[in-house]
Amino acid sequence: MKKTLKEFRKIKHLSQQELSDRSGISVRTIQRIEKNLSKGSPYIIKSICKALQIEIDDIELSSVLPENHETHSGNEVESIDATTCENNNYTRQLKLINTSSMLVLLFPLLNLLIPFILYWKTRKSANNKIVALKILSFQLLWTIFTLLLMLFIPAISQVFFGMHEISGYPLFFWIYLLSVVLNILITIDTGIRLNKSERVLTFIPNML
């Protein structure tokens, strides 16, 4: 039997703040959904259901009034519009943070520096910081592992195989090139998942 968000939250013995911490969704947004002032975007509902360990089909959202419902008061309409605007703005922030990591094509470490600056500027207004921190964590891990590979693989190759270059270029160049290609592919995949409101970088631990 379907239950409302508030009912599921009570069953799990969670406060709104605890659910916010688990899901990464702001308390304000959770309050609006529980008060039937907002439906929440597909991404928000997925995040909340994951935190509650329930299926999306289990949650009752039909009681949420549509945005153009004639019974809405001016304050309710304004509140819903504000929520929608907030969600859209944050989605754009996430896409910008993710896309900016491609600057690694121009110069090393820009993939970490620029996304971090963008996140730092918008961190207070972020509706869901978990995804942004996931993106930053991936770029941090990628940078660390790329540096380690560039240091150790050429050294091992030189000691055991006497090889330190391929086609006239040092091994570390090829390692970095392949690693950058992998970074770009994962960044593109993350962008596609953000557009579809799907979970991103599930294989990456949050290090920040």
**Domains present along the chain, CATH in parentheses:** 5-64 (1.10.260.40), 94-195 (no CATH)
Query: Which of 17-31, 70-84, 101-115, 182-196 has the least mean pLDDT?
Result: 70-84
What average pLDDT score do residues 99-109 get? 92
Q: Is the pLDDT of residue 56 over 90?
A: no
What average pLDDT score do residues 134-163 get? 88
Which contiguous run of DSSP H or E holds residue 189?
A: helix 171-195
**In a 3-state reduction of DSSP, which class is residue 147?**
helix
What average pLDDT score do residues 4-14 get? 88
* Cα separation, 22 vs 24, whole angstroms: 6
Per-residue pLDDT at 34: 86
- Please tell me which residue, 72 or 199, carries the higher pLDDT value: 199
Residue pLDDT, tens place only, 168-202: 888 889 999 999 999 999 999 999 988 877 778 88
- Please tell me which residue, 36 or 79, carries the higher pLDDT value: 36
Residue pLDDT, tens place only, 24-47: 788 888 888 888 888 777 888 888
Per-residue pLDDT at 73: 44
Mean pLDDT of all residues in the chain? 80
Per-residue pLDDT at 93: 83
Per-residue pLDDT at 128: 60
**In a 3-state reduction of DSSP, which class is residue 59?**
strand
pLDDT tier at 62 (50, 70, 90 boundaries)? low
User: Do the Cβ atoms of 31 and 2 come closer than 8 Å?
Assistant: no
| Backbone CA torsion sign across 27, 33, 36, 41 | positive
Per-residue pLDDT at 70: 38
